[in-house]
C-alpha cells in the first residue's frame, strides 16, 4: 500500500485550524467577558496578549498552508519530486504557533518557534522550486 503524502497535511491542517479557531474564542472571552478584561485589553500590543494573538494568527495561517500544500501534493504527486520531505516540513511548521503558546503559558524558550518557522519557510520555498522545475521537466 502506497503512502499518499499530502493527505495528512489536509487532515491535520483542518484539525489545527479548528483548534486555533477555538483559541480565538478564548481570546474574545478574555477581551470582552473575563474578570480583568480591561487590563487584558490594555495590554493589546505587549506581553501575553500580543503573543497570544500571534499564536492565533500563525496557527490559522500555518494550518491553511498545510491544507493548501497537502492539496497540491496530492494533485501533483506524480509530477513533483521530494513530496514526502515537503509534506513533513509543512507539518513540522505547525510547531511555530505551538511554540508561541508554550512560551506564553509555560515560559519555554522559543526553540519550537524557530524550528517551525524554518520548516514552514523551507517547505513553501521547496514547493515553489518544485513547481518551477516541473514546468521545465514536463513541458
**Residues 69-109 pLDDT 10s:** 999 999 999 999 999 999 999 999 999 999 999 999 999 99
pLDDT class for 40, splitting at 50, 70, 90? confident
Mean pLDDT of the chain: 93
pLDDT class for 2, splitting at 50, 70, 90? low
pLDDT class for 137, splitting at 50, 70, 90? low
Task: Calculate helix-pair angle for 47-75, 95-106, nearest 10 degrees.
Answer: 160
Q: Sketch the domain layout of the chain as residue ranges.
A: 7-137
pLDDT given at position 49: 85
Residues with Cβ within 8 Å of residue 53, at least 6 apart in sequence: 27
Amino acid at each position: 500500500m502506497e503512502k499518499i503524502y499530502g493527505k495528512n497535511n489536509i487532515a491535520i491542517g483542518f484539525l489545527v485550524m479548528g483548534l486555533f479557531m477555538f483559541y480565538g474564542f478564548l481570546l474574545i472571552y478574555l477581551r470582552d467577558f473575563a474578570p480583568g478584561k480591561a487590563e487584558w485589553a490594555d495590554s493589546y500590543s505587549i506581553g501575553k496578549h500580543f503573543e497570544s494573538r500571534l499564536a492565533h494568527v500563525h496557527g490559522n495561517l500555518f494550518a491553511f498552508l498545510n491544507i493548501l500544500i497537502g492539496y497540491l501534493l496530492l494533485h501533483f504527486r506524480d509530477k513533483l519530486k521530494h513530496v514526502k520531505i515537503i509534506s513533513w516540513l509543512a507539518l513540522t511548521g505547525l510547531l511555530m504557533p505551538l511554540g508561541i503558546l508554550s512560551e506564553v503559558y509555560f515560559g519555554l524558550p522559543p526553540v519550537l518557534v524557530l524550528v517551525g518557522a524554518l520548516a514552514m519557510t523551507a517547505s513553501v520555498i521547496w514547493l515553489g522550486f518544485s513547481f518551477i522545475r516541473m514546468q521545465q521537466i514536463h513541458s
